[in-house]
A and B are shown apart, each in its own frame.
Chain A
Amino acid sequence: MLSANQSLTGPRAKPRKSGFMSYKTQKRLVPLLYVAPAVFLFALLMLFPMLTVLRYSLMDGAIMKKDAIFVGLLNYITLFNDPVFWQSVVQTLYFTVMSVIFHLLIGLAFALLLNSNRINPVIRSLLRVLYILPWLFTAVIIAIIWRLLLDPNGVINSILMALHIVDYKVEWFSSTKTALHALTFANIWAGYPLYMVSLLAGLQGIPKDLYEAAGIDGAGEFQKFRYITIPQLKPIMVSIALLDFIWTMQVFPLVWMTTGGGPIYATEVLSTYTYKLAFSSYEFSQASASAIFILIMSMSVTYFYIKHQKAR
C-alpha cells in the first residue's frame, strides 16, 4: 500500500519554472489573458473616448484652441446657468418617461392580442407582421413618415377635420404647444415593437398550468392577468423599461430630422442641445460637459438595471 503522501512516481515534482515566471504565476495569469482582448477593446472603444470627453469638459476651448487650458468645473457652471439647458433636461425626461410608459402599455396590449387563442391564426400572423413594421424602419424613414403624416396639409389633419374633431389645420411639429407631444407620439409608435416581441416571448413561456389552476380556483380573466401574467412578465418588463429609458434619453436622429429642437426650444432635448453646442457653436468643451451630464443620467439608471439583474 502507498501512504497518503507518497506518489506513484516518487517524490512530488517541484512546480516547474518556465523562463522568469513560475508555473503558478502563469496559471494565475491565464484567466486574465482570456479577458485581456475584451478589456483592451473596452479601454480603446469606451474608456478612452469617455475619459477624453471628461478631459475636454474640464478645459476651455477644447479642440478649437491649441492652447486650451484646464478650467475645472467652469463649463458645467456655464451649462447649469443656461435656462435652455434645464428646459432640455425637463423635456428629455418628459419625452423619455412618456415613451417608456406608452411603449410598455402598447407593447403589452399587442403582445396579449397576439398571444390570444381567440383570434384566427391567419389574422394573428398578419397582425404580427403589421405590428412589428415600425421596428423595421430607420429613424430617418420614421421622421419622414411622421413629417408627412403630421404636415398641416397631411393625412392626420384631413382625417381629424373630416371627423370634425378639429376645424383648422393643426401645425403639429410647428407649434410650441403640440410639437413635443407630436414628437413623443412618433417615438412611441417607433419603439413599442421591442416590448411587444419581448413580452410575447414572455407570455408564451408562462406555464398553462398556472392559468388552469387559477381557473379551478374560480379566478376571472382580470384576476389571472393581475396575479399570474403581470408577476410572470415583471422581470422582462423591468429590464426592457430600464434599457428603453437609457436608449430613449439619448435619441437624436428622430428629434433632429423632425423639428431640429424647435419651434423655439419646444422640443430641445439633451442630445440636440449637445449637438448644437458642438457642431454649430463649436463649443466642444461645453458640449463635452453636457455629454458627461447625459452619461451620469444614463449611469444612474444603469445602476438600477444592474441591481435588478443581480436580484434576478
Chain B
Amino acid sequence: MNIKRKLATMTSAAVLALYASGALAADTTIEFIQWWEPEMPANALRGIMDDFEAANPGIKVNLVSGPYSATHDQIVVGAASGTLSDVVGLDGAWVNGLAKQGAIASMDSLMTDANYDQSQIADIVKVDGQSVMFPLASFVYPVFVNLDMAKANGVDTMPATRTEFMDAAKKMTHADKNEYGWVLPLSLQNPGGIQNDVMSWVWASGASMLKDGQPDLENAAVVGTLDYIKSLQDAGVISPGIFAKKEQDKVEEFVNGRVGMMVDSLAHINLIRERNPTLNFGISALPAVDGYDGKRGLPYASWGIGISNSSEHKAEAWKLVSYLMSPEVNGKLVSIANAFPGNVNAKPDFTKSDPLFAEAFKIYQSGKLANEFVGLPVAEDLMRALNVEVQKMFDGQQTSAEAAAAAQKAWLAAFAK
C-alpha cells in the first residue's frame, strides 16, 4: 500500500514537473495575416513558415490567409479594434492610413537593435520618416502583346513609343470581329486600373504625378497622358465597357484573343498559359513618349510586410520579417511567386519558370520600379477620385485639363486631412 502511495506521489510529481517544464518552454505563436497564400502553390508559404519554425525553435507561425479584398477589410477592422495580427501583409495603397492610425509599427528601432543592413532592402516604405513597410516581392506590369494577332495585322515589332503603340492598336482593332487593340479596366469597385493602366504611362516616361510629396496632376506629363489615353478611345481601339471592366475582365479578354495588348502583372503569366495554352504572347516595357531615352518607370504592385503596433511579440515578428527578407528565403519565395525580390542580393531562380520571366527580369533590371501611389494617404481613395474624373473625361463631360484640375483639387483636400 505504502509502495503504491509512493508510486502515485512520484507519478504525480513527474507529471507536474513535465507540465511545468512544458509551460516554461511554451512556444510563442505569432499571427501572420496576408493574401499571398491563396495566390501561391498549395503549401508553398506554409512550407517556408515550417522552415522558419525549424530555424527558430520556440516560435510558431499561424497563417491567417484570405483573398486580397477580404484581407484588406480584416486588416482595417483589426487596426481599428487593436487586434491586428503580429505580422501584416501590406499593400502600398493601405500603408499610409495604417501608419497614421498607429496600427503598424516603425521598424527602425528593430533594425537598429538587430544591427540590420538596410542597404540590402530594395525599397523601404516610410511614412513620416518612419520605416513601416518592406516590399517583399514585386510584381511588375509590362505590356502583354498577342504575337499572333500582331503578326496577322502587320505589327512586327513591340511598340516602344506611344506613337508605335497607337499604330499597333489601330492595326489590331477590328470592331466587327470583336477584336480591339487595347483594354482599359476602369471599374470603380477596384480603382487599381488608374494606377496600373493609366498613371503607369506617366511613370514609364520618367515623369511624376507628385511634386515635393504633394499632388501635381496638372503638369504637362499627366495631362498629356490623359490626352493620349482619350485619343486611344477616340480612335476606337479600346475594348468597349471600360467603366465596368475589372482587372480579371481585362485578362479574360486577352486570354480569349479579343484584345491585342494589355498592361498587366507578370503574376498572371501562369494563369494566361493555363487558360489558353495555345496563346502566343510576349511582353515589353510600357511605351514612353516619343523621343524619351531615360530609364523607364516600371509600374509594380508589391507584397509588402510590416509589424503590428499592438503586437506583444514584436521581437519574434521582426525575426519572421527579417527571415523572409533574407537573400536566400526572399529569392526562394519570389521564385515560387513569380515576382521580383525585395532583397537586392536575392537571386531568384527563374530556370523552372516560364521563359518570359527571364525576359521580364531583363526589363526590370534595365528600368526602375515606379509606383507613386505607394505610401500615399488614402491611396485607394485618390485612385477612385481620379478614376471618376477620367470617366467624366471619357464621357465627354470635361477635357483632360479639367479632369486633372478636378482630381488635383480632390487630392489636395485628401492630403490636407
Instruction: Chain A residues near B76: list those with CB within 8 A.
Output: 279, 282
Whole-angstrom distance from the CB of B46 to the nearest CB of chain A?
A: 27
Task: Say yes or no for A260: interface residue by CB 8 A criterion.
Answer: yes
Task: Say yes or no for B365: interface residue by CB 8 A criterion.
Answer: no
Q: Is the pair B241, A151 in contact by a Cβ cutoff of 8 Å? A: yes
Instruction: Chain B residues near A260: list those with CB within 8 A.
Output: 187-190
B 357-415 contacts with A by CB, 8 A: 378, 380-381, 384, 387-388, 391-392, 395, 397, 414
Q: Which of B178, B244, B258 has the most CB of A within 10 A?
A: B244
Instruction: Chain A residues near B126: list those with CB within 8 A.
Output: none
Instruction: Chain B residues near A179: list those with CB within 8 A.
Output: 243-244
Q: How far is the CA of A263 from the CA of B187 in the complex (A)?
A: 7
A260-B189, A280-B378 known; A171+B384 contact, CB < 8 A = no
Instruction: Chain A residues near B388: list those with CB within 8 A.
Output: 262, 264-265
Q: Is the pair B243, A261 in contact by a Cβ cutoff of 8 Å? A: no
Q: Is the pair B245, A174 in contact by a Cβ cutoff of 8 Å? A: yes
Task: Say yes or no for B312: interface residue by CB 8 A criterion.
Answer: no
Task: Say yes or no for A259: interface residue by CB 8 A criterion.
Answer: yes
Instruction: Chain A residues near B73: list those with CB within 8 A.
Output: 279
Interface membership of chain A positions 266-301, coded 1 if the CB is closer than 8 angstroms to chain B and 0 otherwise: 000000000010011110100000000000000000
Q: Is the pair B384, A276 in contact by a Cβ cutoff of 8 Å? A: yes
Q: Is the pair B241, A282 in contact by a Cβ cutoff of 8 Å? A: no
Whole-angstrom distance from the CB of A74 to the nearest CB of chain B?
A: 14
Task: Say yes or no for A153: interface residue by CB 8 A criterion.
Answer: yes
A64-B101, A66-B102 known; A173+B189 contact, CB < 8 A = no
Task: Say yes or no for A103: interface residue by CB 8 A criterion.
Answer: no
Task: Say yes or no for B97: interface residue by CB 8 A criterion.
Answer: yes
Residue on B with the closest CB to A265? B388
Instruction: Chain A residues near B258: list those with CB within 8 A.
Output: 153
A263-B395, A281-B378, A282-B97 known; A152+B189 contact, CB < 8 A = no
Q: Is the pair B244, A280 in contact by a Cβ cutoff of 8 Å? A: no
Task: Say yes or no for B16: interface residue by CB 8 A criterion.
Answer: no
A 141-179 contacts with B by CB, 8 A: 147, 151-153, 169, 171, 173-176, 179
**What is the count of residue pairs linking A and B with beta-carbon distances less than 8 angstroms?**
84
Q: Is the pair B243, A262 in contact by a Cβ cutoff of 8 Å? A: yes
A64-B101, A264-B388, A264-B392 known; A152+B243 contact, CB < 8 A = no
Task: Say yes or no for A258: interface residue by CB 8 A criterion.
Answer: yes
Q: How far is the CA of A259 from the CA of B190 in the complex (A)?
A: 10
Task: Say yes or no for A257: interface residue by CB 8 A criterion.
Answer: yes
Q: Is the pair B243, A174 in contact by a Cβ cutoff of 8 Å? A: yes
Task: Say yes or no for B80: interface residue by CB 8 A criterion.
Answer: yes
Task: Say yes or no for A63: interface residue by CB 8 A criterion.
Answer: yes
Q: Which of A147, A173, A280 has the most CB of B within 10 A?
A: A280
Instruction: Chain B residues near A152: list those with CB within 8 A.
Output: 240-241
A64-B101, A263-B244, A263-B391 known; A256+B384 contact, CB < 8 A = no
Instruction: Chain B residues near A174: list those with CB within 8 A.
Output: 240-245
The contact of B244 among A64, A171, A284, by CB within 8 Å, is: A171
Q: How far is the CA of A115 from the CA of B244 in the complex (A)?
A: 40
A174-B245, A257-B189, A281-B381 known; A262+B391 contact, CB < 8 A = yes
Q: Is the pair B240, A171 in contact by a Cβ cutoff of 8 Å? A: yes
Q: How many residues of B contact A (CB 8 A)?
A: 32
Q: How far is the CA of A175 from the CA of B242 in the complex (A)?
A: 9
B 242-264 contacts with A by CB, 8 A: 242-245, 258
Whole-angstrom distance from the CB of B332 to the nearest CB of chain A?
A: 34
Instruction: Chain B residues near A63: list those with CB within 8 A.
Output: 80, 101
Q: Is the pair B244, A173 in contact by a Cβ cutoff of 8 Å? A: yes
Q: How far is the CA of A261 from the CA of B395 in the complex (A)?
A: 16
Task: Say yes or no for B170: interface residue by CB 8 A criterion.
Answer: no
Instruction: Chain B residues near A173: list those with CB within 8 A.
Output: 241, 243-244
Whole-angstrom distance from the CB of A17 to the nearest CB of chain B?
A: 47
A 118-139 contacts with B by CB, 8 A: none
Whole-angstrom distance from the CB of A207 to the nearest CB of chain B?
A: 50
Whole-angstrom distance from the CB of A137 to the nearest CB of chain B?
A: 19
Q: Is the pair A264, B395 in contact by a Cβ cutoff of 8 Å? A: yes
Q: How far is the CA of A66 from the CA of B178 in the complex (A)?
A: 54
Q: Is the pair B241, A263 in contact by a Cβ cutoff of 8 Å? A: no
Instruction: Chain B residues near A281: list those with CB within 8 A.
Output: 378, 381, 414
A64-B101, A284-B80 known; A256+B242 contact, CB < 8 A = no
Residue on B with the closest CB to A62? B80
The contact of B188 among A64, A66, A261, A279, by CB within 8 Å, is: A261
Instruction: Chain A residues near B395: list those with CB within 8 A.
Output: 176, 263-264
A 183-220 contacts with B by CB, 8 A: none
Instruction: Chain A residues near B174: list those with CB within 8 A.
Output: none
Q: How far is the CA of A276 from the CA of B414 in the complex (A)?
A: 14
Q: How far is the CA of A194 from the CA of B392 in the complex (A)?
A: 38
Residue on B with the closest CB to A262? B188
Q: Is the pair A256, B189 in contact by a Cβ cutoff of 8 Å? A: yes
Q: Is the pair B72, A259 in contact by a Cβ cutoff of 8 Å? A: no
Instruction: Chain A residues near B387: list those with CB within 8 A.
Output: 262
Q: How far is the CA of A279 from the CA of B74 in the complex (A)?
A: 10
Q: Is the pair B241, A171 in contact by a Cβ cutoff of 8 Å? A: yes
Residue on B with the closest CB to A153? B178
Residue on B with the closest CB to A168? B240
B 70-114 contacts with A by CB, 8 A: 72-73, 76, 80, 97, 100-102
Whole-angstrom distance from the CB of A155 to the nearest CB of chain B?
A: 13
Q: How far is the CA of A262 from the CA of B387 in the complex (A)?
A: 10
Instruction: Chain A residues near B380: list those with CB within 8 A.
Output: 280
Q: How far is the CA of A264 from the CA of B391 in the complex (A)?
A: 6
Residue on A with the closest CB to B380? A280
Q: How far is the CA of A26 from the CA of B91 in the complex (A)?
A: 59
Residue on A with the closest CB to B253? A153
Residue on B with the closest CB to A177? B395
Q: How far is the CA of A263 from the CA of B178 in the complex (A)?
A: 22
Q: Which of A66, A169, A264, A282 has the most CB of B within 10 A?
A: A282
Residue on A with the closest CB to B93? A280
Q: List 12 A-B contacts (CB under 8 A).
A: A147-B244, A152-B240, A169-B240, A175-B243, A179-B244, A259-B244, A260-B189, A262-B187, A262-B188, A263-B395, A280-B380, A281-B378
Apart from A64-B101, A260-B188: 12 A-B pairs, beta carbons within 8 A: A153-B240, A153-B258, A171-B244, A173-B241, A174-B244, A259-B244, A261-B188, A276-B381, A279-B76, A281-B381, A281-B414, A284-B80
